[in-house]
Each structure stands twice: as C-alpha cells, then as structure tokens.
Amino acid sequence: MTLINADDYGITLSQAEHILDCRREGRLTGVSAMPNSPALERAMGLLADDGALTVAVHLNATEGLCLSPPEEVPLLAGPDGRFRQSFFRLFALSLGPKRRALQEQLAREFARQIRRTLPLLGDRPLRLDGHQHIQMIPVVLEAIRDAVRENGWTVTYIRWAREPLLPYLRRPSVWRYSRPVNVVKNLTLNALALRSGRVMDEMGLKRNMVMGLVLSGNMAYEPVHRLLPDMERAAAKKGCTLELVMHPGWGVGPDEELDVPGGRFEAFYLSPGRRAEYDCLRRL
C-alpha cells in the first residue's frame, strides 16, 4: 500500500488550495495539517466534503508560535511564544540533564496541538506525524506517547520516517537530484529509528517506510517517477506501508503572510522546489 501525503498543510490558505489541486488532479491521498498555523481552521474547512482524504496532525516544536503559554514551555519557546529549537537542538537537549523537563514540555504542547485539531477532523481517525520529522527523536516520540495516554486518545498511525538507501544506490541517474546534507538526514533518521521503533511497538503501531528524505527539496517528477516503483517493491518485501512525503504547497496570497515571516524557513516555503513537487503530484 502506498500513501501519498502533502506535509505542512494550511501554513497559508493559498498553499492549502494548491495542495488540494493535487488531490483533485493527481494521486494525493492525505495531508498533514500544521496545528499551530493561524490559517488552520480555514484550511481544514476546505476538506469538509472530502472524507476519504486522510489528515494527520503535523506536530510542531520548531517553527511558529507555540499554543502553550510560553512560561509553561521555556525549553521550547522564547518569551514571545515563538519556537526557538531546531531538530538537532532538540536532540542535543534530550541528551542532557533537562531531558525529563523537555519531555514534559513537549507532551504539554503536543496535547494542545492535538486538542486544537481534533474537532476539525470530523469522523477521521487520529493520525500523527512531526514537522521536520521531529517524531523520530526518541524523547519527542515518548512525549507524543505521554500526551496520547494522558488524554485517552486512540491513534491509528504515526509516521516512522525510515527510508531505505538501496533503491537510490541502484539508480545513479537520480543522484544529481539529491544533496549530501539529505543523505546525512537519511542516515540520522535511520539511526534514530532503532530507538523510536521500540516506542512504536509499545504503542501498538505498525512501522512504515517513507520516500522523500534523500530527495528533500527536489522531489521533481523525473526522480520520483523513476524511484517510486523501487520503493514500493522494497516496502512490499517488508510487508509495510510506503508513505511518499511531499511538500507541494506553494504561494502566499497578497493578504497573507507566513506565520514566521522572514524566518529561516521562509525561503523553503517560497522555493521553486515546492512548485516542482506540486507539478510532480499532478502528473503521478
């Protein structure tokens, strides 16, 4: 089984509308909604008539405004309420003496993000993943587990972001679409999967496989079209679901702004690579 998912849904309403073009015209099967976006309610309203589209809560601890009072999550956000950590800073912080406090603050914030999104899901089951794959950091996944248990929620799916490298090695023609930093990202997440997989097992959730790490930022039609059958075969051999992780949302309308205008991720949200992923999904 292959899931084709658009991450970061609802950062802006224009971006959400472009993602839904991929649903109408392509093979998109699901979206991951940004729970701390100012446009969340309006973006989720666009999904009201499409109950077959899966929706995951895209848990976020690295970008935008936190939903908790900042004094309750000082390890995550500054006094202005903006998240101040990155993936690697969260991981580094989890290795030190503040690990327990970090886990508690993450669980507190994630509970608020899930609580905000739940009423907007309708009859859809609760699915979770993490912005920039933070759920693969063991302390983050443990905090997700804690938030879910404390609130008595039933989760049907958490993305286990492990991507095999062998299909890439067998197709040298796609190497030019990748960057060395993406290979480092792949290896890092695969290493973290050894620990996070045990938490998945504890929660009774099946492990899946993803495609979209090595080609991150350049998921154009040509490399995706070539590699997807290989990835699907690899997932079939493991007896697991393949999730194709895409970022096809692009554009900021004249009356919109990103929730972190001028921030370190703004160039990514406005990059040509996002338009290429939009075009790719409409062709698949």
176-182: list long-range contacts, CB under 8 Å, 24+ apart.
Answer: 177/215, 177/218, 177/220, 177/222, 177/223, 178/214, 178/215, 178/218, 179/217, 179/218, 182/213, 182/214, 182/215, 182/216, 182/217
Residue 258: per-residue pLDDT: 59
pLDDT at res. 263 = 52
Averaged pLDDT, 122-132: 96
Q: pLDDT tens digits for 149-207?
A: 999 999 999 999 999 999 999 999 999 999 999 999 999 999 999 888 889 999 999 99
DSSP 4-54: EEEEEETSSHHHHHHHHHHHHHS---EEEE-TT-TTHHHHHHTTTT-TTSE
Give the residue, 144 or 260, on which the prediction is more confident.
Answer: 144
- Beta-strand ranges (E) seen in 153-193 are 155-158
Distance CA 130, CA 78 (A): 21
Question: CATH no. for residue 107?
Answer: 3.20.20.370
Q: Residue range 90-100: average pLDDT?
A: 97
Range of the domain at 157: 2-283
The predicted-structure confidence for 253-271, as pLDDT tens digits, reads as follows: 777 765 554 455 566 667 7
Residues sharing a CB contact under 8 Å with residue 4, sequence separation 6 or more, in sequence order: 26, 27, 28, 29, 30, 243, 244, 246, 281, 284
Please provide the average confidence, as pLDDT, over all residues in the chain. 92
**How many domains are there within the chain?**
1
pLDDT tens string 210-249 = 999 999 988 999 999 999 999 999 999 999 999 999 999 8
In the block, residue with structure tokens 């912005």: 131
pLDDT at residue number 197: 87
pTM: 0.94
For 284, the token pair is 């698949």
**What is the per-residue pLDDT for 158?**
97
Determine if residue 163 is left, alpha or beta; phi over 0 gives left, psi from -120 to 50 gives alpha, anything else beta.
beta
Tell me what pLDDT residue 264 has. Answer: 52
Mean pLDDT of 79-87: 93
- How many helices (H) and strands (E) the chain has is answered by 10, 7
What is the tens place of the pLDDT at every residue in 36-51? 998 999 999 999 889 8
Q: Is the pLDDT of residue 61 over 70?
A: yes
